[in-house]
Amino acid sequence: MDSLKLEIKKLLIEALDLEDLSPADIDDDAPLFGPDGIGLDSIDALEIGIVLRKQYQLTIAANDERTREHFRSISTLAALVESQREAAQAANETTRKGE
């Protein structure tokens, strides 16, 4: 999961033009939004959603109450990616068994 977190940090830095930050500057559990974190805003959240959807084929529902929690930190984003990967893998295995 550490490699996934590093990958997500690099994606965010590139997508959001955070040139003054390196992956090491972003704590895995620090809030991404607001004054206590790296200070991202709602526009950044939209861009993050687009990048994650393209990179990891994530399905992110804007009206899902859990979306805000998923976007809280690098750790929660990585957990979201990992859980959707596992769900996709399980679905593929189920499909193969049915063939």
| pLDDT one-digit tens code per residue, 29-72 | 999 998 888 999 999 999 999 999 999 988 887 777 888 899 99
Rounded Cα distance between 24 and 6, Å, is 9
CB 16, CB 48: distance < 8 Å: yes
Rounded Cα distance between 77 and 20, Å, is 21
Domain 2-98: give its CATH code: 1.10.1200.10
pLDDT tier for residue 79 given thresholds of 50, 70 and 90: very high
| Domain boundaries along the sequence of the chain | 2-98
pLDDT exceeds 90 at position 87? no
**Taking residues 5-24, what's their average pLDDT?**
96
pLDDT tier for residue 28 given thresholds of 50, 70 and 90: very high
